Structure 1
Amino acid sequence: MRKLIYGMNLTLDGYVAAAGDDIGWGGPPSPELFQYWLDHERASGLTLYGRKLWETMSSYWPTGDQRPGATPAEIEFARNWRDTPKVVFSSTLDGVGWNARLVGGDAIAEITRLKAGGGGPMTVGGATLAGAAMRAGLIDEYVIATHPVLVGGGTPFFSALDGWVRLDLLETRTLPGGVVVTRYGTRR
């Protein structure tokens, strides 16, 4: 069975976006944080996106390696992003490109089917999609890059759950700028 990993940058008070879908609170990532996420993405065999995160990522990364001043890590991230198979879950999009396929139906059924298949780990991005997978008990690992900023509200990383989920700490790493990366595995 494939592992499903949910990871994102978030504020110290637990939000992936401030009010109004503002993701500017983190500023540009340090080279170390960017490299961490690049390594995380390289390890993924399939990326699952909700509509909002898909629109953000697909508006930049298809040509991110061609932008003036792109760093070697950004060039590699763009190439990896294009090459990694993706599934986009949306009932409002008409189509997707860049090595992605669109699923407009039951996201949980499709994620469950994908987990049961073979292949490397899958990553899920987008708080709404990940929240549904979280409530369904499908997340195996959480990767949290906590930034030292409080925004007071917005889109939370964790969704409301019906019960407790016990986790085991797998990794803690402190990066420049006071960012702390933690990885937790779900106890089964």
Structure 2
Amino acid sequence: MRKLIYYIATSIDGFIGHPDTGDGAFFIPMSSGEFQSFMLDQFPDTLPTAGREALGLADAPLTRFDTVVQGRRSNQVAYDMGITSPYAHLRQYVVSRSLTAYPDPAVELIGDDVVGQVRKLKAEGSPLDIYLCGGSEVAGQLIDEIDELVIKTYPVLLGSGLPMASAGFALRGYELTSCRSFDNGAVVTMYRKVR
């Protein structure tokens, strides 16, 4: 069975976006040098399609993910820039209780039974995994389905904002599989769910 991997950027104090808008664009300027090279090597599929094209990766084969699941507010950032299919190189799902239609046929909406829909995706025969792009609410709904975490921690404190997952309190165990620091002060930690 393939895995749901939550790949997320966070501040030192665990926030992934602005408390009102959910926007986490303040992390983007910190993605350079050694860190950027590592991320492009390890996770090229997580780049939005426009980024892949700008870096000459438009036709590069998928290596880790073939599907992306994201919340409506995460998707809204690209949508507000006129990009209706931000991950055109992947199968795209947007989780939303408020949207009843989406203007791009390449993006499928998940309105209810998010867990059931993701379990169906996980049961597919693909050798590639599912990229959980965010945000906080959808990660909270899928918290017990997340098999691995890839957490890019940037050297900033936000004080408040959206937490990594808006879920009820419960102890959920993960084991550390990798930890690496970079010259820009970022740290990438990877965890696997303890069964």
Aligned residues: 171
**Structure 2 portions without partners, runs of 5+:** 47-61
Shift of 1:85: 0.8
TM-score by length of 1: 0.79
CA contact (8 A) 2:66 2:130 kept: yes
In structure 1, C-alpha distance between the alignment counterparts of 2:124 and 2:82, rounded to whole Å: 27
In structure 2, C-alpha distance between the alignment counterparts of 1:144 and 1:40, rounded to whole Å: 16
SS state at 2:188 partner: strand
Partner letter of residue 129 of structure 1?
Answer: V
Deviations 1:72-131 (A, max 9, x none): xxxxxx7xx322111111122221427321122221111122112221200112211111
**Structure 1 portions without partners, runs of 5+:** 64-77
More helix by share: 1
Aligned-residue sequence identity (percent) comes to: 29
CA contact (8 A) 1:82 1:98 kept: no
In structure 1, C-alpha distance between the alignment counterparts of 2:167 and 2:34, rounded to whole Å: 31
CA contact (8 A) 2:137 2:167 kept: no
Shift of 1:31: 4.3
Whether 2:32 is the aligned partner of 1:14: answer no
State how 1:86-105 maps to structure 2 within 5 Å: 86-93=92-99, 94-97=101-104, 99-105=106-112
Shift of 1:57: 3.3
Alignment partner, residue 148 of structure 1: 155
State how 1:1-188 maps to structure 2 within 5 Å: 1-21=1-21, 22-28=23-29, 29-35=31-37, 36=39, 38-39=43-44, 41=46, 42=62, 43-59=64-80, 62=83, 81-93=87-99, 94-97=101-104, 99-119=106-126, 120-125=128-133, 126-134=135-143, 137-188=144-195
SS state at 2:13 partner: coil
CA RMSD of aligned residues (A): 2.5
In structure 1, C-alpha distance between the alignment counterparts of 2:129 and 2:82, rounded to whole Å: 21
Partner letter of residue 98 of structure 2?
Answer: T
